Amino acid sequence: MTDAATSFRGRVARYDVLVPPPADGSTRARLGRLELPHGVVDTPQFMPVGTNATVKALDPLDIEATGASIILANTYHLYLRPGHERIARLGGLHRFMSWDRPILTDSGGFQVVSLGDLRVVDDDGVTFRSHLDGSVHRFTPEHSIAVQEALGADVAVAFDQPVTPSSPLDVVADATARTHRWAERSLAAHGRGDQALFGIVQGGLDPNLRASSAAFIAGLGFDGICIGGLAGDETPAQREAAIDVAVSALAKDPRPRYLMGLGSPADLLEAVDRGVDLFDSVLPARVARNGTLWVPGGKLNLRNSRFLDDAAPVQEGCPCPLCTRFSRAYLAHLFRARELLAYRLATCHNLTFTLDFMLRIRSALRAGTFPASLPELRLHAGPLSGREAAEKSA
């Protein structure tokens, strides 16, 4: 553990690779431990998303019970409503939402370009219209950092310009170069002493752009490296190739690697195998609210009438509040009656399933049996990638 390549000491964050990838190259997966101001995050790890300072349908005790140790909140949403300055006046995001464990805020870059109605990107920043009321706003790297400092999460993220993976090469190249300049400005603007700052690698699906972006971002003094611009319209093979390029460029870098936006267990497993440490996604919660419950090997659609008479729990042995106390029949009834309790119970389950899956991955890594356990873990994750899971439950 004293090897410089398996340990990082930042101003605020510490990261230790407890079990590095084996020398035989059978996997790049690694077990790690990220120390942040509000607690420890064991990696590989998944972060539930609390867009509006609430993981939809759950309270903080529910989130804790899923096994989550860190959550993500969206800077764009909180900036617009209720406002970062208001949250700061109320004591910061942790106190506002009554969650005293680690939080990461994204930069707002993704939402600005994906939700904002107007999107004028110039070299200084992005002008956009609020998706709530059409009002015009402007984010620059400096402003994104100021907003995130006001929110006060454990980890802030540099402002970037993500583009759809399938974008033309010149669009990707332009956005990647701008992301690099904004990374430097984000770093220069950041001053909060109790908050880590992660940089974002872009580069789309082009190996050269992706590799040079990873090298550029790794050359700056961030506390962690985000891999952005994926989990979009790429195929799993394209995504895995892009991860391989980025992780290769970061192979000797001890800082945590965070692939933004990926959420199906099958996708998480492949990304872990390629060396990714951190993830976030709305997927487990979103499909849960649509009635899709994840179980070992697949999923159940609780809107299907065959569950109305099924006295079994959604998943035998699952410790979540749904499976320990209610039947599939009851949950199917709640969904049909559009009762609010359905959304909470289903979300508790899918997040518990996802976080338990990450725990299984970490156990295999700790035991040194991850490569051998891959077939079993793949069976447990089920066949669906995130895009399929989202489309089939929509």
Q: Which residues bind to a second copy, rule: CB under 8 A?
A: 52-54, 56-60, 81-82, 86, 89-91, 96-98, 308-309, 311, 321, 325-327, 329-330, 332-334, 336-337, 339-341, 343-345
**Residue 344 Cβ, how far from a second copy at the closest point, in Å?**
7
User: What's the CA gap between 345 and 348, in Å, rounded?
Assistant: 5
Name the residue nearer to a second copy (CB basis): 22 or 321. Answer: 321
Length of the chain: 394
Q: What are phi and psi of 219, to 5 degrees?
A: -80, -5
List the catalytic residue out of 160, 273, 280, 356.
280
Name the residue nearer to a second copy (CB basis): 343 or 357. Answer: 343
DSSP-assigned beta bridge partners for residue 279: 46, 259
User: What's the CA gap between 348 and 44, in Å, rounded?
Assistant: 20
**Residue 388 Cβ, how far from a second copy at the closest point, in Å?**
26
CB-based burial, 195-227: b 16+ in 10 Å, e otherwise: bbbbbbbbbbbbeebbbbbbebbbeeebbbbbb
**Residue 207 Cβ, how far from a second copy at the closest point, in Å?**
41
User: What's the CA gap between 190 and 357, in Å, rounded?
Assistant: 35
User: What's the CA gap between 32 and 203, in Å, rounded?
Assistant: 26
Instruction: Mention every residue, 6+ apart, whose C-beta is less than 8 A from residue 387.
Output: none
Beta carbons of 264 and 283 less than 8 angstroms apart: yes
Instruction: Mention every residue, 6+ apart, whose C-beta is less than 8 A from residue 148.
Output: 75, 84, 105, 107, 156, 157, 195
Active site residue 106: yes
Name the residue nearer to a second copy (CB basis): 172 or 332. Answer: 332
**Residue 91 Cβ, how far from a second copy at the closest point, in Å?**
7
List the catalytic residue out of 106, 160, 273, 277.
106
Name the residue nearer to a second copy (CB basis): 331 or 377. Answer: 331
Active site residue 280: yes
**Residue 71 Cβ, how far from a second copy at the closest point, in Å?**
14
Name the residue nearer to a second copy (CB basis): 51 or 166. Answer: 51
**Residue 85 Cβ, how far from a second copy at the closest point, in Å?**
10
Name the residue nearer to a second copy (CB basis): 133 or 170. Answer: 133
DSSP for residue 274: T
Q: Comparing C-alpha atoms, which of 166, 149, 165 is closest to residue 157?
A: 149
Active-site positions read 106, 280
